[in-house]
Amino acid sequence: MTDQAPAAPAAPAAPAPAPSAPPVKKSAFEKRFPDVVKRDERAGYEGFIVPAVKLREVAKALRDDLGFDFLSSLTAVDYFSEAPNAPNFIEVVYHVFKSTGGGALVFKVQVPRDNSVVPSLVDIYPGADFQEREAWDLYGVKFEGHPDLRRILMWEGFAGHPMRKDWKEAYYEEELKPFKNRWPEGQVYRIEDKNPYGKNNKYPQGFDPENFTETADPLLYENLEKAARAYSEDIDTEQVVVNLGPQHPSTHGVFRMAVRLDGETIVALKPVMGYLHRNHEKIGERNTWIMNMPFTDRLDYLSSMSNNFGYAIAVEKLMGEKAAPPERAEYIRIIMAELTRISNHLWAIGFLLNDLGAFFTPALYAITERELILDVFEATAGSRMMCNYFRFGGVARDLPAGILEKIKELVNERLPRKIDELDLYLTENELVRSRGEGVGVITPEEAIAYSAAGPVLRASGVPYDIRRADPYSIYDRFKFDVAVRYHGDVYDRYMIRVDEMRQSLRILQQAVKEIPGGEIMTGKNPYQVRVPAGEAYGRVEGPKGELGFYIVSNGKANPYRYHVRAPSFINLTVLEKMCVGNKIADVVVNLGSIDIVLGEVDR
């Protein structure tokens, strides 16, 4: 035996030279702008980076030359780091689609955090209006050329931009959940107890609450007056401003419309929202990935199963094959989503009739059928409205005994009969027709330009349904027609929902017949997941339109970015266009025909 040290392991043999990678095939977009756009080469990311100075030129070409005429989503991401020499910038992310169908084209603009200025696209894509205002409000991105760049969810004078990573809320505890006092320490306390009443206000430097001057309403009325200048009448009359809401039974929640009238004719209208805002997206970035599932229930709280679906699809895109749901889970998801669509449309039709003055009789007939669907949700998920049922890779639990038979009876026997009854009693009703036909007309071109989605878009003659245009889950297996109507008025927005309920029944009848046995979850039902770094946009055809979730992961347990493309919010962009030239009596009917839920509008 000697003291000689063991020999070092042999160095690995030099690998054989890798074959040269084939050149990346350039897209039509890159060929159109060879020296302007570049691919986003960050791992897990997609799309293209566009210089801010070229944004308008690129957007106009995308719309006019390449056919991407539908701006679906516009949001921002704050890439912030306190590390020395680390990149710090705001990225504005755009998802555009063709109204004829197909996948997204994603393009992005990166600007410094301390000088976040981006050209506005409102005159190219009018549907960017509220979305740019939201990015200004929450991220401080100034959109040059925007015709009405006011805050939209917070109030004028609010200090800071709350979605920025260095902004802290009044009861700030920690950056990410679970908070340490909950887990692993188990010494639970409420942060309110450590921040007692009287010391929970934090004013910006130089702010004196005693001398505060309201600026929000003067700005609102100034822009209302500007919008009214485009309207002209033969008779010169004095115009008046009327506020409908936020405390109004027919604004469907705490929602306000500032209306400028010439006699009884609407010459300008500005929606005012944010009264129910609770910064859902900031909460979503504090939460772990799985914690966000029950929070999606609280968006459109009439359609929680559909909300779960959209979020699950977005996260599963990043997780890849390991989160692909089993066959039975896919069928259960489709069944729950289509029951949700019928439930939503029954409610929407009932309350539209309320808005028309048929106080609660039609609504109660519709609600009776909706309650039977909620019975199914309660038996399956344990809750009638806040279902928290979907999971990444499947669903939380299987259908309980007897529920599939109940669903079969509903979709094959009762619901077809009851939908026919609603159609019979309402569709040819003289008041429904006289108050709906020719009221609030939106042309196909306007519906696309204003990023309208769902029934609002299809009632204007655009047969765009994500289940067909860009299929997800297993929708491509089912036979159904895309419901479409061609007058773009209140009456067609009512009729399209009747049509869609019948198409949902077709899907459900096939699903309950073909549903296989087997597992309802890929792997274990985890309490925690790690999502690979990257970005994803998942979208579903919700009852109110395109519900999208844009997420960014840094590979950790919490989303780095969590954004909701809320159809109730974006469909309101077209409300002024819908109302101008109509009478004040039609405002509530137009709003009811859009079908909004304020939990989703304000988030």
Q: For the chain, how long is the longest CA-to-CA vector? A: 114
Q: Which positions ≥6 away from 420 have C-beta within 8 Å? A: none
SS3 label, residue 152 = coil
pLDDT at 227: 74
**pLDDT (0 to 100) of residue 196:** 65
| Predicted local distance difference test score (pLDDT) of residue 233 | 62
- pLDDT at residue number 501: 95
What is the per-residue pLDDT for 6?
Answer: 40
Task: Report which of 114, 42, 542 is spatially closest to residue 308, judged by C-alpha positions.
Answer: 542
Question: pLDDT value at position 163?
Answer: 94
Please, what is the angle between helix 490-514 and helix 327-356, to 10°? 150
Domains of the chain: 33-144 (3.30.460.80), 280-602 (1.10.645.10)
pLDDT at 85: 82
Please give the pLDDT value at position 199: 65
Bridge partner residues of 583 (DSSP): 265
Of 84, 596, 139, 57, the residue nearest 352 (C-alpha): 596
Mean pLDDT by 10 residues, the chain (603 residues): 40 41 65 87 92 94 93 95 85 95 93 93 94 95 93 88 89 84 82 69 75 76 76 70 82 85 89 91 93 93 93 93 92 96 94 86 91 94 92 93 94 94 91 90 95 95 94 94 94 95 96 93 82 94 94 93 95 93 91 90 89
Phi, psi of 360 (to 5 degrees): 75, -15
Q: Kindly tell me the number of DSSP H helices and DSSP E strands found in the chain.
A: 20, 15
Measured CA to CA, the distance from residue 125 to residue 450 in angstroms comes to: 7
Q: What are phi and psi of 240, to 5 degrees?
A: -125, 155
Sign of CA dihedral 208, 209, 211, 212: positive
